[in-house]
């Protein structure tokens, strides 16, 4: 018997023996074995189910991790975009702040106005000597024509006090308030307040401006013409200083009436007064602090009504007015800007 036949014989023998033994097993043992087999199958099924559940959970964990990674990445990108936008806004604000600071450095102290004043002063210096000579020549010619009249009139001695009384009255008109007026003018020159209250001068005030304002108050008694500065901006500055002083003395009783012969010039006056005094559009109007007129007749009627109501009208006449209406001369406060002799010659040659 070879080796191949031995296992076959053994298997048959074992199967026969098992078949022979099984019948010999008791019934409880068979049930126990069947129960164990069922439990084994159930355990194997449970293991398979758990394996499937584990695989599903692992897949869900991987998907959740991927979703979280995408959400985190998206949020990070949005935060980065917001950070860049905020950084750009900050840079823009910093550049704007720097630009405003530079503008304040260049215009805060009235640099542009000072340049205009210096240019105008240089122009006045160049033509001033010729103008003074022309005025002196005109003044010298008058006595030559009046010499016979001055020698003859010994009788009109009574008229001389009346002629002298007018300038004395003009000088004494503001005599009680002269010290306060001079203090305000010195304050405008030495301590300019660029952020002062409304109706207070907010611009640089040079000696040439102070000279004209002082002349109008103390030499002309608040009623006369001063020589123009050559530009409407400078004339507005002088008028603004005068308005500011009168407002300090008389408060809300002061009413300023501007006379100019075109809407464009009146617009320049409005913008200039807003810039120099800090007033707004609400301060302009028939019942407000400043009123603009193109015709002297309407201005005279308005001034008359203001006087009847207890107000103090200040009439300001632009330099382009060739003549002053006699109706305006009845009011106590009149500030007119007279063109220089050179400008008058140019206007006459033009016409």
Could you tell me if 119 and 204 lie in one domain? no
Higher pLDDT pick, 351 / 51? 51
Check residue 185 and give its pLDDT.
94
Question: What digits encode the pLDDT tens for the residues 147-173?
Answer: 444 444 444 444 443 333 333 334 455
Domain edge (last residue) among 56, 78, 99: 99
- Out of 1-5, 108-112, 182-186, 340-344, pick the least confident: 1-5
101-110 per-residue burial string, b: 16 or more CB within 10 A, e: under 16: eeeeeeeeeb
Question: What digits encode the pLDDT tens for the residues 223-277?
Answer: 999 999 888 999 999 999 999 999 999 989 999 999 998 999 999 999 999 999 9
Residue 11 domain flag: no
Check residue 5 and give its pLDDT.
43
Q: Domain with 317 in it: what CATH number?
A: 3.40.50
Could you tell me if 218 and 334 lie in one domain? yes
- With a CB cutoff of 8 Å and minimum separation 6, the contacts of 274 are 280, 281
Could you tell me if 324 and 261 lie in one domain? yes
Residue 3 domain flag: no
293 pLDDT above the threshold of 90: yes
Could you tell me if 209 and 341 lie in one domain? yes
Beta pairing class for 223-227 and 312-317: unpaired
Identity of the highest mean pLDDT range in 12-26, 120-134, 285-299, 334-348 = 285-299
Question: Closest Cα partner for 113 from 241, 224, 223, 301?
Answer: 241
Question: What digits encode the pLDDT tens for the residues 117-135?
Answer: 666 656 655 655 565 556 6
Check residue 102 and give its pLDDT.
74
Q: Is 290 exposed, middle or buried (0-12, 13-18, 19+ CB in 10 A)?
A: buried
Which residue range is the domain that position 204 belongs to? 163-350
Could you tell me if 215 and 332 lie in one domain? yes
Residue 106 domain flag: no
Whether the CB-CB separation of 300 and 328 falls below 8 Å is answered with yes
Check residue 27 and give its pLDDT.
73
Could you tell me if 125 and 230 lie in one domain? no
- Compute the distance between CA of residue 109 and CA of residue 88 in angstroms, rounded to an integer: 32
Could you tell me if 127 and 220 lie in one domain? no
Whether the CB-CB separation of 124 and 230 falls below 8 Å is answered with yes
Could you tell me if 224 and 345 lie in one domain? yes
**What proportions of the chain, in percent to the nearest 5, are helix, strand and coil?**
70, 10, 20
Residue 194 domain flag: yes
Could you tell me if 61 and 175 lie in one domain? no
Q: What is the mean pLDDT of residues 37-51?
A: 93
What's the domain count of the chain? Answer: 3
Whether the CB-CB separation of 226 and 214 falls below 8 Å is answered with no
Residue 110 DSSP SS3: coil
Check residue 117 and give its pLDDT.
61
- Compute the distance between CA of residue 334 and CA of residue 315 in angstroms, rounded to an integer: 5
Check residue 339 and give its pLDDT.
84
Q: Rounded to 5 degrees, what are φ and ψ at 336?
A: -115, 145
Check residue 150 and give its pLDDT.
45
Residue 75 domain flag: yes
Residue 186 domain flag: yes
Residue 8 domain flag: no
Could you tell me if 82 and 190 lie in one domain? no
Question: What digits encode the pLDDT tens for the residues 307-333?
Answer: 999 999 999 999 988 888 888 988 999
- Compute the distance between CA of residue 201 and CA of residue 187 in angstroms, rounded to an integer: 10
Could you tell me if 132 and 50 lie in one domain? no
Work out the mean pLDDT of the chain and round it to a whole number.
78
Q: Is the pTM of this model over 0.75?
A: no
- Compute the distance between CA of residue 79 and CA of residue 77 in angstroms, rounded to an integer: 5
Domain edge (last residue) among 70, 99, 128: 99
Check residue 100 and give its pLDDT.
82
- Compute the distance between CA of residue 142 and CA of residue 340 in angstroms, rounded to an integer: 19
Question: What digits encode the pLDDT tens for the residues 70-103?
Answer: 899 988 888 999 899 888 889 889 888 888 877 7
Check residue 324 and give its pLDDT.
85
Whether the CB-CB separation of 245 and 185 falls below 8 Å is answered with yes
- Token pair for 246: 């009168």
- Compute the distance between CA of residue 9 and CA of residue 4 in angstroms, rounded to an integer: 9
Check residue 123 and give its pLDDT.
63
Could you tell me if 189 and 327 lie in one domain? yes
- With a CB cutoff of 8 Å and minimum separation 6, the contacts of 247 are 199, 254
């Amino acid at each position: 018997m070879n080796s191949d036949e031995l296992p076959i014989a053994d298997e048959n023998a074992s199967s026969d023996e098992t078949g022979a033994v099984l019948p010999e097993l008791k019934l409880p043992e068979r049930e126990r074995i069947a129960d164990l087999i069922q439990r084994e199958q159930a355990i194997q099924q449970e293991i398979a189910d758990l394996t499937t559940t584990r695989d599903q959970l692992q897949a869900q964990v991987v998907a959740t991790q991927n979703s979280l990674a995408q959400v985190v990445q998206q949020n990070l990108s949005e935060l980065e975009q917001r950070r860049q936008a905020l950084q750009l806004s900050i840079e823009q604000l910093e550049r704007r702040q720097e630009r405003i600071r530079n503008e304040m450095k260049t215009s805060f102290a009235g640099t542009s106005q000072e340049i205009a004043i210096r240019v105008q002063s240089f122009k006045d210096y160049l033509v001033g000597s010729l103008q003074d000579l022309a005025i002196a020549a005109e003044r010298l010619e008058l006595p030559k024509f009046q010499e016979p009249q001055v020698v003859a009139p010994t009788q009109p001695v009574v008229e001389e006090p009346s002629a002298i009384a007018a300038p004395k009255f003009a000088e004494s008109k503001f005599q009680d308030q002269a010290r306060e007026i001079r203090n305000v003018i010195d304050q405008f020159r030495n301590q300019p307040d660029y952020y002062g209250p409304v109706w207070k001068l907010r611009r640089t005030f040079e000696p040439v401006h102070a000279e004209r304002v002082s002349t109008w108050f103390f030499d002309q008694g608040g009623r006369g013409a001063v020589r123009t500065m050559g530009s409407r901006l400078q004339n507005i500055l002088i008028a603004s200083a005068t308005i500011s002083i009168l407002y300090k003395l008389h408060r809300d009783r002061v009413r300023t009436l501007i006379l100019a012969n075109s809407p464009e010039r009146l617009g320049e006056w409005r913008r200039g007064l807003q810039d120099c005094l800090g007033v707004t559009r609400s301060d302009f109007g028939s019942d407000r602090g400043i009123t603009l007129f193109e015709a002297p007749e309407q201005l005279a009627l308005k001034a008359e009504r203001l006087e009847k109501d207890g107000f103090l009208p200040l009439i300001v006449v632009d330099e382009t007015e060739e003549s002053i209406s006699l109706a305006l001369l009845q009011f106590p406060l009149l500030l007119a800007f007279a063109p220089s002799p050179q400008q008058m010659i140019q206007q006459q040659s033009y016409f």
